[in-house]
Amino acid sequence: MKVAVLRFPGTNCEFDTQYAFEKLGHTTELVWHEDETLPANIDLVVVPGGFSYGDYLRSGSIARFSPVMKAVTRYANDGGKVLGICNGFQILTEAGLLPGALKRNNNLHFISKHQNLCVINNDNAFLNKCEKGEVLNIPIAHADGNYYIDEEGFKSLEANEQILLRYSDENGKPVVVNGSVTSIAGVCNEAKNVYGLMPHPERALEALLGSEDGIRMLKGFEA
Amino acid sequence: MTATINVFLKEGVLDPQGKAAHHALDSLGFDGVADVRIGKQIIIKLDTNDRAEAEAEVKEMCETLLANTVIEDYAIEIN
């Protein structure tokens, strides 16, 4: 598998993301935000975490107008797979590639810790190696992760099985972490080729460092 | 002309910063605070002197970049 990893001014998870996919045996290529095209023959685009453009105005609001995002939008509209992690999730919602928006955490804190997540839907190219209801432990690190969507939008997310993950306790019961609507931690688009989540699977690859649950998530794209 | 744009979270969308400030005001003894909303103000100086043109231009700026209309409302004042 060949993975394109985007890089904006202020991105800081691009090397971790490359490390993760290379550890799983894939090739990766960094793509600068000013590039107007994506590398040829890629299987996945990852918009990694960080603080693109210093989170000025709103997280992700400026990065979405980068030349490379036009290429990503074309790629996604043609059915290409795109994964946004943390700031990448914020950029994809700002770009309109994913529904909803990410607001400031309810408690206004930057939350950085290991967090249990419950797999809500796995009938997609991302979480197909995880079980529905399975609890994964993945680090989170964000200030603007409070997922918002209006009631009508929420209903269609549920009906189309677009909710990927919820923050939960160790038994899979939803818990309030940042104020997200029904504790949502990740969603996908209706066509199920664009994915976004606040937690960082690329930081959960080694049992020694607390969790290797990220491996199974990222391996999903191999199918 | 100068455009003053106020951007606020929509009614019904919880405003965590407003809520925190509200709690702080309560604990400082300011009674009778019913609600606090925190937004941002953006001031843009424009070359044009044509009010209608300025309004149309700034509205487009808000819809494109300055506000996220999924969660935010905006109000434009042109002087």
Residue A20 confidence (pLDDT): 97
Residue A76 confidence (pLDDT): 98
In the chain, the amino acid numbered A100 is G
Those residues of chain B whose CB sits closer than 8 Å to some CB in chain A are: 9, 13-14, 16-17, 20, 65-66, 68, 70-71
Domain that holds residue B59: 2-78
The pairing of strands B40-45 and B2-9 is antiparallel
Rg (CA), chain A: 16
A218 is written with which tokens? 């990222």
Span A118-166, pLDDT tens digits: 999 999 999 999 999 999 999 999 999 999 999 999 999 999 999 999 9
Task: Give catalytic residue positions of A.
Answer: 86, 200, 202
Q: Answer whether residue A37 shows pLDDT above 90.
A: yes
Which of A69, A116, A71 minimizes the C-alpha distance to A93? A69
Q: Do B14 and A179 touch (CB under 8 A)?
A: yes
Q: Note whether A215 contacts B: Cβ–Cβ < 8 A.
A: no
Burial class (CB in 10 A: 0-12, 13-18, 19+), A90: buried
Q: Answer whether residue A221 shows pLDDT above 90.
A: yes
CB contact at 8 A, A186 and A138: no
d(CA A3, CA A39): 9
d(CA A135, CA A183): 14
Q: Do B16 and A106 touch (CB under 8 A)?
A: yes
Q: Note whether A65 contacts B: Cβ–Cβ < 8 A.
A: yes
Out of B20, B65, B71, name the one closest to residue A101 (CB). B71
Q: Answer whether residue A223 shows pLDDT above 80.
A: no
d(CA B48, CA A99): 36
* Smallest Cα distance from B46 to chain A, Å: 20
Residue A2 confidence (pLDDT): 98
Q: Which residue of A has its CA nearest to B42?
A: A57
Dihedral (CA of A83, A164, A64, A142) sign: negative
Out of A61, A104, A179, name the one closest to residue B65 (CB). A61
d(CA A209, CA A155): 38
Q: Note whether A182 contacts B: Cβ–Cβ < 8 A.
A: no
Strand ranges, E, within B1-79: 2-9, 40-45, 72-78
Out of B16, B17, B68, name the one closest to residue A101 (CB). B68
CATH number at residue B38: 3.30.1280.10
A182 is written with which tokens? 């029904």
What is the reported pTM? 0.95
Domain that holds residue A211: 2-222
Count of the separate structural domains present in chain A:
1
CATH number at residue A62: 3.40.50.880
CA angle A14/A17/A22 to nearest 5° reads 125
Q: How far is CA A150 from the centre of its chain?
A: 20
Helix%, strand%, coil% for chain B, nearest 5: 35, 25, 40
A134 is written with which tokens? 């399975």
d(CA B11, CA A111): 26
- The confidence band for B68, taking pLDDT boundaries of 50, 70 and 90, is very high
CB contact at 8 A, A191 and A161: no
- The confidence band for A175, taking pLDDT boundaries of 50, 70 and 90, is very high
A165 is written with which tokens? 């993950």
Count of the separate structural domains present in chain B:
1
- The confidence band for A10, taking pLDDT boundaries of 50, 70 and 90, is very high
Block residue for tokens 């400082």: B28
Q: Report DSSP state, residue A79.
A: T
In the chain, the amino acid numbered A78 is D
CA angle A186/A100/A89 to nearest 5° reads 45
Average pLDDT, rounded, for chain A:
97
